[in-house]
């Protein structure tokens, strides 16, 4: 029987954004393992939190993760499945969407 590789935290970054950059917090957690020189990502959690834009869901305005056995997107308290092509594609989509949210919100404070 082949033993599954041990999953480890590969990346954990947290950025507090200045008000001129839209404010809030960006958080990125990536879990996985290395196999034959390649990185295999098993879990991820990408979030943009800004209580000035959205107060429910602990301030999570936007998020992508694969908890609960499926890939999904959180947006302003709503959750929807997303098609998974690759972690890199999900990360790119997350970055584009949070930048658009900040641009649209104009750094507003409530």
Those residues whose C-beta lies under 8 Å from the C-beta of residue 75, and which sit 6 or more positions away, are 61, 62, 63
Model's pTM, two decimal places? Answer: 0.86
pLDDT at residue 58 in the model: 87
Can you give the residue range of the structural domain that contains 80?
9-105
All residue ranges of the chain with pLDDT < 70 are 1-2, 106-110
> Is 58 part of a structural domain of the chain?
yes
> Is 34 part of a structural domain of the chain?
yes
pLDDT at residue 109 in the model: 46
Those residues whose C-beta lies under 8 Å from the C-beta of residue 12, and which sit 6 or more positions away, are 28, 29, 30
Of residues 79, 74, 98, the one with CA closest to residue 25? 98
> Is 2 part of a structural domain of the chain?
no
> Is 31 part of a structural domain of the chain?
yes
Torsion, CA 105, CA 47, CA 70, CA 92, rounded to 10: 70
pLDDT at residue 110 in the model: 41
> Is 4 part of a structural domain of the chain?
no
> Is 3 part of a structural domain of the chain?
no
Contact 23, 48 (CB under 8 A): no
pLDDT at residue 106 in the model: 66
> Is 73 part of a structural domain of the chain?
yes
Cα–Cα distance for residue pair 107/48, rounded to 1 Å:
13
> Is 1 part of a structural domain of the chain?
no
pLDDT at residue 103 in the model: 86
How many domains does the structure of the chain reveal? 1
């Amino acid at each position: 029987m082949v033993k599954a590789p041990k999953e480890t935290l590969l990346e954990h970054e947290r950025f507090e954004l200045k008000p001129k950059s839209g404010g809030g917090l960006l958080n990125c957690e990536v879990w996985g393992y290395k196999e034959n020189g390649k990185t295999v990502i098993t879990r991820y959690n990408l979030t943009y939190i800004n209580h000035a834009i959205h107060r429910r869901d602990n301030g999570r305005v936007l998020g992508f993760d694969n908890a609960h056995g499926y890939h999904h997107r959180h947006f302003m308290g709503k959750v929807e499945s997303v098609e998974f092509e690759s972690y890199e594609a999900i990360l790119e989509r997350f970055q584009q969407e949070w930048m658009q949210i900040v641009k649209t919100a104009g750094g507003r404070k409530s």
